[in-house]
Amino acid sequence: MIDFSSDAVLLRRIEYGDYDYIITFLSEKAGKISVIAKNAKKSIRRFQGSLDLFSFMNVQVLFSKKKKHALPILFNVDLKDPFEKIRIDVEKTGYASYWTEIITFYLEEQKPQPALFKLFLFSLDALNTGFISKQVINLLFQIRFMSISGFTPDLKKCGICRTPIDETEISQKKVIFDIENGRLVCNKCRKRAGINYINISKGTLKQLAWINENEISKAGRIRFSKLAIKEGESFLQAFIPFHIGREFKSLAFLKRIKREDEFNKSAFEK
C-alpha cells in the first residue's frame, strides 16, 4: 500500500551503491523529502528517464514499518513535465541550480511549504518556456522566496529613521542597502550602516516591491532596465546567501557563465 503520494520537483540526486539513488524532492504535500530509489539505475519500467534534475512528477512513496529512521522508498513516479529546455541551456541550468540549492539547504525535512512549491514550479515553467525573461524570473523567485521565508526587508522605508524612500527628504536617486542588518539606509543615517552594503536605485526597489506584491502571473508585464536587473541581482544574490549563512556553488557557477557571456558579446561587437 502506498503511504504517500504527491506532486513534486526533483532537487538533488546522489548515487548510492551500485544500483540505487538517494533523491531529494520538493513535494507539494510534505515540503522537502529525501527518499531512496532502489534499483533505479536498472529499473526501466518505473524510473527510466524520470529522475532528472528539475523534473516535475507525481511521486509514490513507502515508509518503513520496521525502521523508524530509514529513508522512505520511492515506489513509483509519474512524469508530468521534464522541463528539458532548462537542462540544454547552460544559463537556464545555472539559474535553476541556484534556486534548488537555496531550497535544499534552507528547508527542513518534511515540513509542508505549499507557497514555495507553487513559486518554484511557476519559476521552472517560466524558465523552461521563456515567456518571462531569465533575469526577471530569477528576481521574482528570490524576492518571493525571501517573503515566504519571512526575512524580506522593508524596501519602502529607511530601516533606521523609517522615512519612506519616496519622501522629499530622501532626494538622492540611490540609497544604501545594509546587507548585514537587512535594511535600507538613507543618506542621513548612512553613518550607522554596517560595512557590508551595496548602493541600489530607488526605481529598482520599486520594481522589486511590485513583483513581490502583485499576482505572480503578472510578473511578465513589468519591464526591467539593464541597470535594474544588474542592481536587483547584486542585491538579492548578496543578501540571501548572507542570511542563509552559506556560499552557493551554483551561484558562483552562474556568475562565471554570465561573465563569459558578457565577454563573448563584447568581443563580438568589437
Q: Which residues contact 188 (CB under 8 A, 6 or more apart)?
A: 158, 161, 163, 169
The amino acid at 47: F
Is 123 a member of any domain?
yes
Rg of the chain taking only CA atoms, in angstroms: 21
Is 152 a member of any domain?
yes
Do both 77 and 98 map to the same domain? no
Range of the domain at 48: 4-82
Of 198, 204, 251, 202, give the one whose Cα is nearest residue 226.
204
Q: For 5-29, write each residue's pLDDT tens digit.
A: 999 999 999 999 888 999 999 999 9
Is 34 a member of any domain?
yes
Number of domains in the chain: 2
The CATH number assigned to the domain holding 131 equals 1.20.1440.120
Do both 145 and 244 map to the same domain? yes
SS (HEC) of 3-43: CEEEEEEEEEEEEECCCEEEEEEEECCCEEEEEEECCCCCC
How far apart are the C-alpha atoms of 127 and 95, rounded to whole Å?
A: 9
Is 175 a member of any domain?
yes
Do both 257 and 143 map to the same domain? yes
Is 26 a member of any domain?
yes
Query: Comparing 1-5, 81-85, 147-151, 251-255, which segment has the lowest mean pLDDT?
Result: 1-5
Do both 191 and 113 map to the same domain? yes
Do both 153 and 228 map to the same domain? yes
Do both 258 and 129 map to the same domain? yes
Q: For 98-156, write each residue's pLDDT tens digit.
A: 999 999 999 999 899 999 999 999 999 999 999 899 999 999 999 999 999 887 888 88
Is 87 a member of any domain?
no
The amino acid at 82: P
